[in-house]
Chain A
């Protein structure tokens, strides 16, 4: 076994996979250290990828050269574009995954990837010297030297599972936790926090009475996540819907005294957007019924995921609760739902490159930063590896701005907000939401993708063609006249421009392929689509660009790393405290930290202007 690498990635979840692949593909000798090779890229919780804002992240990962989009395209069993009744910016792709195929796909890609070794072991300790990362020490005492390390430990750091009154040290159900690193980092000055998340029970397919459930199918002509996917023709396996009722609620309520949530056994804070079923019935007691989705974990799966029934109540209660629900009267448990507590490092301790402020060469990605979700983790894993590689090559980190990418919003939020619960991406967190569309990730991130160097030259060229063509078509749409006699069979009245018809919503989404057919046959459909969106939402898009421009001055204004806030007496006390804690890299970032007033920002500007 080799004992020296450029970069080691600790953890084989969704952050670790993207990190290891990016690092190796960028030419660095990379080791992926994981407790269990066969658990690489495992979906610990729901069997799906994408969704609102998360789907945007996956598209961005794809454009920047990550793997997640390709993996789900290859292994998804149901695809759906969400929010189609809304505007373009909030459309989002989502897919049900075949968990087994997904793991296998990723493990296979990793096995075939040059420069990448997988080491099956637990990391006992990091080798740190004077705030610089030197290497890792494995369980058996082997020392592996490396220039950079990306920690992606997920829920494994001092992981503890709760089921009723029972507590089991574990990283996932049936998998051992990782103990050593937390304490060592604490000793090195890191602040450690505790978060909680949960997962619902899995039940056997044979025990479900599907006749009592509502069916939910995917799109008939689905769209792939990845720009590289060709000949996309995935299966369309349905999910099923059912509802809890007052009997269910009574059963769950009767056992709250055995819930670790309410008996104080769980200290970590759970996500409000993903509450356990007992939390829902307590907090929203007036709601008499809650929706549950039954999802297969893989195609032809005998194991079904009960989405919406996350719980840490004792096993007998979970079973009785399930059996009170329509269609689940004979439900048989395969895996029990549980809550899990784990260590994380509040994310004001990292820079926007995802490198820790305290230890040079040490990067954090995924749940270790207090985030939740496969997509959020993958995005961080990718960016951490890109920036770790760039540091080794003496290049400046790639920092995506808030108006460029959801990834930018995610990482900026991590560096300027205090996480009190696991952080999840929402479209409402993006103030430039109308610019960050699912459909234009390749245009927004073209320069970044080129700079990073993971995307293929062929794809980059295609992205650039779309960008140039769409700009040209925007102009052509203004110039091209349309009269009452037209191939789109539209009633026009007085002769007008195509652009005008689009803004009047007389030419809409359904006409885009006709626009290509009759007006722009020499252009790519994607280019026409982009030009359509830019024309249709012109006024709003302009407004958003204006907002970006207004903030630009502040975003561009850098604060030196060792800036002495202590010496500025005219800062408010709270402002000074927060600035010392977060050490924002720019004034823009400083302005987003809660507790920092506009007056504080003005004072900072005065001092930085010298």
Chain B
């Protein structure tokens, strides 16, 4: 079960979710300073001073964001433990990316109310405040469930239960041969157990990967608009924004100087980014723009490739672009249909003819965008997706445990060792739903096997 362990270093985004200009990530616990520094461009932090720094992933040296960092040495901090607060750019991708990095670097996701609990335990709050927090813990999990029910048709916990059931079945087979070995039991082949674990692995990773879909539900789909100069990228952007009145805001994107424009279409948030100058060039200014575009494309959920139909040339750039982007859906937007009656100049999985300046056929483009996102990320109304990093984290640790179980099977270890891994995986799932029922395995055995002399 999920428990408070005081010795851990915990991290979470401590500003409210949404579209604020700044997000604050709080890291607290004994190792917070060293963990924070391992992802920063600095080698030391002076307590209670604001430092300007870059967050850099030490694995690939990629810069995630420019930030302001403040170190609060315990007990002079909110929790009373050493705490580092990182203020990064708000919006929808910088903060989660930084948080994910720090989970990799050794912090664990904070449980609801955990910062406050630490504050209380360290004598930073009085009982009345603590009671308010206690109420909040229930209130938060309550509203969390409601949110889940609304966006995910309430079936996440059912899904977790069914995954848990799969694992309980595996544990039961393993335990059966341990606790009832004196009795006539048909031994179950290790191959079958391996297959069952693989099946469970697949089901869990589908759910873990649905974090992408969950992310799209929560953060919207990032849609770069690419194309050769004068293909009509800006016109398309403006046309879409004019067509869909529900413009939310201008949000600074991950790379600060490219601008995202967002709009809601049928409940989905699309975040459009106009990428300039995507082509090989030696011009240093254009080169920087091109590099930026490449970075955005790496994060894209869907790409709009704007093609000027009136050119009628070989469309080499477009063909090469399509060939290089197999992992993300690309819609070929054949623009300027008013100037040319040419049919598709090259084949593409998704294609639509429009005129951006005349607002022709934009409906078709919008519904195609919606279809693409729905089918590619399985975010139709019925599919189950997770939206919380904490859930993803739990599912990934379940997968790690199952991996260990398979390794133990390969090493021909006895059932009790494999069972340890399976039970660990079950516990990880229980962290999501908050269940604690250790007798389930035995109950399952009694229900399905004839046991007893």
Contact = CB atoms under 8 A, between A and B. Distances in A.
Interface of A: 46, 51-53, 82-83, 85-87, 89-90, 94, 271-275, 280, 283-284, 287, 290-293, 307-308, 417, 426-429, 431, 433-434, 537, 540, 543-544, 550-551, 553-554, 568-570, 572, 591-592, 594, 596-599, 601-603, 605-607, 609-610
A603 B184 CA distance: 47
B420 interface: yes
Interface stretch (B40-48, B125-133, B195-203): B125-133
Given A90-B414, A291-B184, A428-B441, A272 B446 contact: yes
A599 B417 contact: no
Interface string B437-453: 11101100010001111
B75 to A, nearest CB: 15
Given A82-B182, A606-B120, A540 B417 contact: yes
What band does the interface of chain B fall in when counting residues whose beta carbon is under 8 Å from A? 35 or more
B423 to A, nearest CB: 7
Nearest to A84: B181
A291 B131 CA distance: 59
B3 A52 contact: no
A273 B446 contact: yes
Given A570-B131, A570-B138, A597 B434 contact: yes
Contacts of A292: 453
Contacts of A273: 446, 451-452
A51 B439 CA distance: 20
A428 B442 contact: yes
Interface string B132-167: 011101100100000000000000000000000000
B439 A417 contact: yes
Contacts of A597: 434, 436
B134 A570 contact: yes
A272 B182 contact: no
Contact of A52 (B181, B184, B434): B181
B375 to A, nearest CB: 37
Interface string B1-20: 11111100000000000000
Contacts of B135: 569-570
B113 A543 contact: no
Closest 8 CB pairs of A and B: A87-B414, A284-B450, A570-B134, A272-B446, A86-B414, A308-B453, A428-B175, A291-B184
A51 B453 CA distance: 13
Contact of B416 (A86, A290, A605): A86
B120 A52 contact: no
Contact of B127 (A280, A283, A291, A610): A610
Interface in B405-431: 413-417, 419-420, 423
B420 A427 contact: no
Contacts of A308: 452-453
Contact of A544 (B134, B141, B181, B420): B420
Contacts of B2: 598
Contacts of A433: 416, 420
Contact of A591 (B3, B133, B179, B414): B3
B111 interface: yes
A594 B434 CA distance: 11
Contacts of B133: 606
B111 A602 contact: yes
A550 B437 CA distance: 18
Given A603-B134, A606-B117, A83 B452 contact: no
B416 A594 contact: no
B294 interface: no
B124 to A, nearest CB: 11
Nearest to B142: A599
A472 to B, nearest CB: 26
Contacts of A291: 183-184, 453
A149 to B, nearest CB: 31
29 contacts: A46-B453, A51-B182, A82-B181, A87-B417, A89-B416, A275-B450, A280-B450, A287-B450, A291-B183, A291-B453, A308-B452, A426-B179, A428-B178, A428-B179, A428-B419, A428-B441, A429-B438, A540-B417, A569-B135, A570-B134, A570-B135, A599-B138, A599-B141, A601-B3, A602-B111, A603-B137, A603-B138, A606-B130, A610-B127
B437 A594 contact: yes
Given A291-B183, A307-B453, A592-B438, A599 B5 contact: no
A167 B453 CA distance: 24
B121 interface: yes
Nearest to B176: A428
Contacts of B131: 570, 606
Contacts of A86: 177-178, 181, 414-416
Nearest to A275: B452
Contacts of A428: 175, 178-179, 419, 441-442
Contacts of B415: 86, 90
A545 B114 CA distance: 25
A427 B121 contact: no
Contacts of A431: 423, 438
Given A428-B178, A606-B117, 17 more contacts: A52-B180, A82-B181, A87-B413, A87-B414, A87-B416, A89-B416, A90-B414, A94-B182, A431-B423, A434-B420, A540-B420, A543-B420, A570-B134, A570-B138, A594-B437, A602-B113, A606-B130
Contacts of A543: 420
A272 B179 CA distance: 14
A87 B113 CA distance: 42
Contact of B179 (A271, A427, A606): A427
Contacts of A271: 452
Contacts of B181: 52, 82-83, 86
A572 B120 CA distance: 21
Nearest to A51: B182
A603 B138 CA distance: 9
B417 A609 contact: no
Contacts of A90: 178, 414-416
B439 A53 contact: no
A445 B332 CA distance: 73
Nearest to B130: A606
A554 B3 contact: yes
A598 B434 contact: yes
A283 B137 contact: no
A606 B178 contact: no
B258 to A, nearest CB: 42
A550 B7 CA distance: 9
A433 B180 CA distance: 16
Interface string B39-77: 000000000000000000000000000000000000000
B184 A602 contact: no
Interface in B166-190: 175, 177-184
In this complex, the member of B112, B179, B420 whose beta carbon has the largest number of chain A beta carbons within 10 angstroms is: B179
Nearest to B126: A610
A599 B438 CA distance: 18
B430 to A, nearest CB: 9
A431 B437 CA distance: 12
Contacts of B177: 86
Given A86-B178, A90-B414, A605 B453 contact: no
A250 B446 CA distance: 24
A572 B138 contact: yes
Nearest to A605: B4
A53 B6 CA distance: 34
Contact of A592 (B113, B134, B436): B436
A595 to B, nearest CB: 9
B344 to A, nearest CB: 56
A294 B17 CA distance: 69
B1 A591 contact: yes
Contacts of A293: 453
Contacts of A275: 450-452
Contacts of B423: 431
Given A52-B181, A291-B184, A272 B451 contact: yes
Contacts of B111: 598, 602
A540 B411 CA distance: 13
